[in-house]
Amino acid sequence: MTDADRIVEAEEEHAPLHPEWREEDGRLSHDWVEALRQQIAADDAEQVREMMAPLHEADAGDVIEALPRDERLTLVRLLGDAFDYSTLTEVDENVRVELLEALPNPELARGMAEIDHDDAVYILEDMEEPDRDAIIALMPDFERLALKRSLDFPEDSAGRRMQTDFIALPPFWTIGHAIDYMRSADDLPTEFFQLYVVDPGYNLIGTVPLDRILRSPRDTKIEDITDEQVIQVDANSDQEEAARLFERYDLIEVGVIDESHRLVGVLTVDDIVDVIHEEADEDIRRLAGVGDEEVSDSVWAAVRSRVTWLLVNLCTAILASMVIGLFDASLEQMVALAVLMPIVASMGGNAGTQTMTVTVRALSTQDLGRFNMLRLIRRETLVGAINGIVFALVLGVVAALWFSNPALGVVIGLAMIVNMLAAGISGILIPLALDRLGIDPAIASSAFVTTVTDVVGFFAFLGLAAKWFGLM
């Protein structure tokens, strides 16, 4: 036997029993999932644990979502103590609630006590309050009190996202004292990036980065290396505000204070990445009028999520059709108008959506304020006018050649200018007006902007044509 044959034989002898769980393109392997399902069906806890052991919690979440509904609970049962309940933060809300309702409260209480505080809050806040309180009541005293305090903060607030494990030191300690404390204490967070310097009332004085601790002599006092220019977040503030602070100042970790200005927790960048993703995802769905719909939602849940704004769009479409109805005689006399009028409305709708998207994004990131609002309005008005002129020339020539009617090219060109100008103005003013009225512009802007561009486009084109050709 050659050396090459011996290597192949050794590799085959130590080859894994199951296929790789990821394809080369990063997607979950269908063969691996099927192999796992076979072990679940066989109720083989040992093999299930072996297959799931190498997976990160995010990958385990993908596996749970890929399994049929009746096999998810069996998987969790077979994993037993080996199941990381942080995995529930990585699945759709519907899947998470389904598992929470099926698992016994003592098991949930054990799992919540073992994971990070912020993950436990994220999981429990989806539950009905009586069920949630029943689980929290079974947890150890310290974890129970910390969870209750976090859940008392408003939904989507920094207090709900914060981690309550952090290292707080008095300013009179030395570096050596701090290092010895961190080496001997067994209740420190598993990962941390800076130390928090507090007074006896737990008011935040400043922070000390870990690199400064490592580079300073042991006899240096903490107060001598403390950064007192502290950026901190109020626990009751919206999580989006905290995310903007992280983005603006390139933060990795920041302290969270309560209404008494006492340090009660910290926010870390991994939590903020989730916030940024959630908020962006929410804005995209609202712009499309699909609410809080998830991939795992049922047919009827998806219908309920979409029907409201589809009904609004139906009403606005009827309004646009009523405008067309005013010119039914003109359309009967000149069929070319019916052929060309969708172009005017469609171009205006697309232009309005572009402006609206820029405006809604600027409002959500707080890049748009009173100092630059007028400048942006002027810019979008000029953009609409210039685009209108450019496409008026293009479409006017096309229409004139298509129908051998230069006058028709002039009419549709003028209508294009009017509608593109209306699209630019409405695309910025409607989101601004909705925001001023306290209505989320991401939800309602699209329907109103589309209505304006449809009505103005049809009215301008058909009205100009009726006057020009005497079709009224």
Is residue 427 in a domain? yes
Is residue 207 in a domain? yes
Could you tell me the CATH number of the domain that includes residue 248? 3.10.580.10
Q: Where are the alpha helices (DSSP H) in 326-364?
A: 328-333, 335-364
> What integer pLDDT is reported at residue 187 of this predicted model?
80
Residue 176 sits in the same domain as residue 256? yes
Residue 295: pLDDT band with limits 50, 70, 90: low
Answer with the residue of higher pLDDT: 101 or 290: 101
Residue 36 sits in the same domain as residue 115? yes
* Residue 106 CB coordination number (10 Å): 10
Residue 278 sits in the same domain as residue 317? no
> What integer pLDDT is reported at residue 293 of this predicted model?
63
| Burial (CB count within 10 angstroms: exposed 0-12, middle 13-18, buried 19+), residue 33 | middle
Residue 151 sits in the same domain as residue 274? no
Question: What's the Cα-to-Cα distance from 180 to each of 10, 90, 176, 217, 400, rounded to whole Å?
Answer: 48, 37, 6, 13, 85
Is residue 214 in a domain? yes
Residue 146 sits in the same domain as residue 250? no
What angle, 0 to 180 degrees and rounded to 10, lies between the N-to-C axes of helices 129-136 and 141-152? 150
| Burial (CB count within 10 angstroms: exposed 0-12, middle 13-18, buried 19+), residue 17 | exposed
> What integer pLDDT is reported at residue 18 of this predicted model?
53
Is residue 5 in a domain? no
* Residue 83 CB coordination number (10 Å): 21
Report whether pLDDT(292) > 70: no
Report whether pLDDT(316) > 80: no
> What integer pLDDT is reported at residue 472 of this predicted model?
52
Residue 132 sits in the same domain as residue 271? no
Report whether pLDDT(267) > 90: yes
Segment 79-101, tens digit of pLDDT:
999 999 999 999 988 899 899 99
Give residue 175's domain range.
168-288
Distance between CA atoms of residues 458 and 464, nearest Å? 10
Segment 119-145, tens digit of pLDDT:
999 999 988 889 999 999 999 888 898
Is residue 161 in a domain? no
Report whether pLDDT(291) > 70: no
Is residue 217 in a domain? yes
Nearest Cα residue to 340 out of 391, 390, 398: 398
> What integer pLDDT is reported at residue 13 of this predicted model?
42
* Residue 367 CB coordination number (10 Å): 12
Distance between CA atoms of residues 43 and 414, nearest Å? 73
Least confident of 6-15, 151-160, 214-223, 318-327: 6-15
Strands 204-209 and 194-198 turn out to be antiparallel
> Which structure tokens are listed for 449?
């902007």
Domain boundary among 262, 288, 314: 288
Could you tell me the CATH number of the domain that includes residue 421? 1.10.357.20
Provide, rounded to the nearest whole percent, the portion of the chain with pLDDT above 90: 48
Least confident of 88-102, 265-279, 316-330: 316-330
Is residue 87 in a domain? yes
Domain boundary among 288, 308, 328: 288
Contact 409, 399 (CB under 8 A): yes
Residue 271 sits in the same domain as residue 365? no
Q: Give CA torsion, residues 341, 342, 344, 348, to 10 deg.
A: 150
Domain boundary among 256, 288, 320: 288
Question: What's the Cα-to-Cα distance from 327 to each of 422, 454, 459, 465, rounded to whole Å?
Answer: 21, 15, 9, 10
Residue 449 sits in the same domain as residue 310? yes
Residue 141 sits in the same domain as residue 176? no
Residue 238 sits in the same domain as residue 367? no
Instruction: Calculate the average pLDDT of the chain.
Output: 86
Residue 176 sits in the same domain as residue 274? yes
> What integer pLDDT is reported at residue 10 of this predicted model?
39
Answer with the residue of higher pLDDT: 424 or 11: 424
Least confident of 43-57, 132-146, 223-237, 292-306: 292-306
Determine the average pLDDT of the residues in 166-186. Answer: 93
Provide, rounded to the nearest whole percent, the portion of the chain with pLDDT above 70: 90
Contact 470, 332 (CB under 8 A): no
In Å, how far from its chain's centre is CA 368? 20
Segment 2-36, tens digit of pLDDT:
444 543 443 444 334 455 777 777 678 888 999 99
Is residue 163 in a domain? no
Residue 183 sits in the same domain as residue 109? no
Total domains present in the chain: 3
Least confident of 77-91, 105-119, 249-263, 322-336: 322-336
